[in-house]
Structure 1
Amino acid sequence: MQNWLKEESENTEPLTLADYIQGILSRKAQAGKSGYSQSLYNLKDAANMLNFLQANGICDMAGLDEKFKSMIGEQLDIQGKLKPVERRLATLKKHLEQADIYFKCKGKKPLTEAEQILFTTAKDYLKGVMNGKTTIPTKTWKEEYTKLTAERKKLNQRYLALKEEVKEAEKIRKSVYSILRQEQREQQPHRKQDMER
């Protein structure tokens, strides 16, 4: 028995935020204040909150705030990566459209007035883009466009998934703060009563 007590005293790890919240909710349920915990948090929400805290190794409020900030930071990083991809895709799209017009009209004789205007515009555009090169790199542009489209899709998927995660994390964060504020309010009357005695 003494060995077991000694081992248990050595094995005690500090309470994590998840353990603390779980303790509060359990105490409320046992004390018959389940209306409180059920009104603010149903079982599923409490389980999601505790799972999130444990899965992310969050031990305290600072850790929760840090995790939330890092998720927002990752979301901003993805937005930052998407912007140049979107700009380059728009540029490549215009290059490919102008090259398509150029090649459609190039060998065609006679050209209508509208076709001549389109051909001249496309030729001038491509001349400005080519920087003195003579061969139009449509194959390279198409490959880059395909690659960037796949990258944009991947970034968008990650962004949308992260957006949902951030939304859920904010909900959890608010719930944790709410539980802790309620616990603090309930502890204060006990302290006042203890001081009066």
Structure 2
Amino acid sequence: MKEKVWVIDNEILNGINFFNGFTIVEQNILEKIFKNAYFIDRDLAETDESKKQIIPYVVIKDEKNKILVVQRTKNQTEKRLHNLYSVGIGGHVNPIDENENPELTFYNGLNRELNEELFIDKLKSLEYVGLILDDSTEVSRVHLGVLFIANVTNADIREKENFNELWLNEMEFKNFNGNFEGWSKIALRALEVI
């Protein structure tokens, strides 16, 4: 069976005043996006630039104020992101996440993705930050990131074969020479880490 993913038509987004990069939008705008989202085959969504796949994108911060950084290995499915570094954990919202309340559909997807990718000792808080929209690459043109910060006591990657992990503080980010994927650069600027 083909994977289905949650998407929003760009024409819905055209009525929203946000910029290419990072934008803070009100809760009612998020609700409008979620209310107008629907599922289509991922194969279609990956090449249809009239739609954006809605992706929960969560930055994980521990008690020492360090941020989890992962590097995608060649075992990871999205070939266009191999070897790049990321500060975002997340992924597609799928039909298994569906609820009659569209907002819960989104949060079910966010929760499922976090639990698939991480062992989290204790999630202390989950804070909405804003939206990531980046039209600069083939991958990012068909995705819309919903950025959050999760404060945890500790976390560890589940899929060691798909990701290498490290934890960096603000000073270490300034000296880090790894190549971050586009959304991570946007997220780190929005969080004023770089």
Which of the two has greater strand per residue?
A: 2
Higher-Rg member (1/2): 1
Query: TM-score band (shorter)?
Result: under 0.3
> With structure 1 as the length reference, what TM-score do the two structures score?
0.18
> With structure 2 as the length reference, what TM-score do the two structures score?
0.18
Which of the two has greater helix per residue?
A: 1
